[in-house]
Amino acid sequence: MTAADVPTGVGVTGVDDVKGVPVTVVGVGVSGAAAALALVELGAQVHAVDAGDGEQARAAAAELRAAGARVTLGGLPAEPGAARLVVTSPGVPPGTPLLAAARAAGIPVWGEVELGWRIRPGARWLAVTGTNGKTTTTEMLGAILAADGRRSTTAGNIGTPVVTAALAEPPYDTLAVELSSFQLHYTDTAAPIAAAVLNVAPDHLDWHGGPDGYAADKARIWRHPGTIAVGNADDPVSAALLARAPGRRVTFGLDPATADVTVVDGELVDRAFDGGPLLTVADLLAGGPADPAGGPPAGGRPPGARAPSAGGAAGPGRHLIANALAAAALARADGVAPAAIAEALAAYRPGAHRDAHVVTVDGVRYVDDSKATNPHAALASLTAYPSVVWIAGGLNKGLAFDELVAAARDRLRAVVLIGRCADEIEAALARHAPDVPVERAAGMDDAVEAAARLARAGDTVLLAPAAASMDMFRDYAERGDLFAAAASRRGSDVSPGGQSRGG
């Protein structure tokens, strides 16, 4: 088939139709470039376009041109032209003129994830979405699948593009797929074996047109009746969305009175798929290195904290336990053996900048949760520790801080504010926690110095910014690295027999 064979205004219906057909790919970032290369491999006439013209875009453009694609940088066309399919990168808003014009002309607009599914329809996907915890849960799930002996990988928002995984030979047995709301907006036919919505809190509201649009895109992960819908019984929005899922519904959560996969008497238990007890909470993350200062593995419980019991979770680590429950529920939905779940969850270690213990100095723990880039994530982090000197602030994404401060105020020893939204957080503190000391810092070194001065033995100095990083740092990783470096310098003079340890 050639472009001339396709009637004007009619798009392709599947990947078998793209050979010789003009296809426009929007964006040359990781997912867009992967989609363009896949389409070249499928024989399409690929034109990749990107609004940017920076160093990374030019490097991607050179690779795509070498593969046989045409590339235009520095702006997006307003019309699809000869294209009979448009494949978009996930961050491109749906109201972008090019995408709107394509839809108006009857030309399909697929996301890279949708393209990946259509390349290998019927693949075994176990999918994860949510405002927070997606990457941790997907990593846990990937580790479980590997422990079960499957040829598997993690893909999607976690790093490896779905199209890249879809084209792998021999094919993967199972994919653990992390999906953002942006990616889900552009999916139609993808039908995971099972999928989890971890939680839903306000985020990216400008892109989705408000909280209802954001929640609706999260729920698209459950749109096919054959998908086992796994929802969080402890999260009101996830639970409300689950009530409308068309397929089988399974809950996870910390309260055994409301959840199918839950915690009973200190054990993670599967009551949905007859897996029974999986592992104890004490064994969760136990395979990581111990803290010589006497604390738990990074991301685990500090000394003296109580593990969850039949009445629900008490003490820190609630979000990590919930992530483990979700990963276990998805694995059990696809028949993974309980022993593989126990093995993987005991050995799992959280990724960098996710509730990572850096150092302990004079009885004060320094914890890097730079990945907490919105209030919902920051609250999960703050409630993991009984007494906190909180380093917060950055680039706000149009979100309010009142609920966060009101819920966390009893845990706050003091607050050190950085970044563009410092005034907004300080105003929320004045309304809901007026007795908590607040200081400002010009940079991360100053922030850590101020936090150390305010902290007492037994406290946690916690970087959980509740905001994005790009006002002061390259990304959240650089922000976390600078925090860790500043905290580690405070412990560098402590003798090997002291309370400190390197991160």
> Which residue ranges are tagged as binding site for ATP?
130-136
249-252 vs 228-232, strand pairing mode: parallel
Q: Please name the residues in contact with 235: beta carbons below 8 A apart, sequence gap of 6 or more.
A: 198, 199, 200
84 in Cβ contact with 21 (< 8 Å): yes
Cα–Cα distance, 236 to 378 (Å, whole number): 18
Which parts are annotated binding residues? 130-136
> Which one, of 76, 78, 95, lies nearest residue 25 by Cα?
76
Cα–Cα distance, 218 to 245 (Å, whole number): 12
Cα–Cα distance, 439 to 163 (Å, whole number): 47
- Kindly list the distances between the CA atom of residue 459 and the CA atoms of 252, 361, 389, 444, in Å, as whole numbers in the listed order: 31, 10, 7, 19
88 in Cβ contact with 26 (< 8 Å): yes
502 in Cβ contact with 489 (< 8 Å): no
Q: Please name the residues in contact with 499: beta carbons below 8 A apart, sequence gap of 6 or more.
A: 293, 360, 361, 362, 363
Q: What share of the chain is helix, strand, coil (3-state, %, to 5)?
A: 35, 20, 45
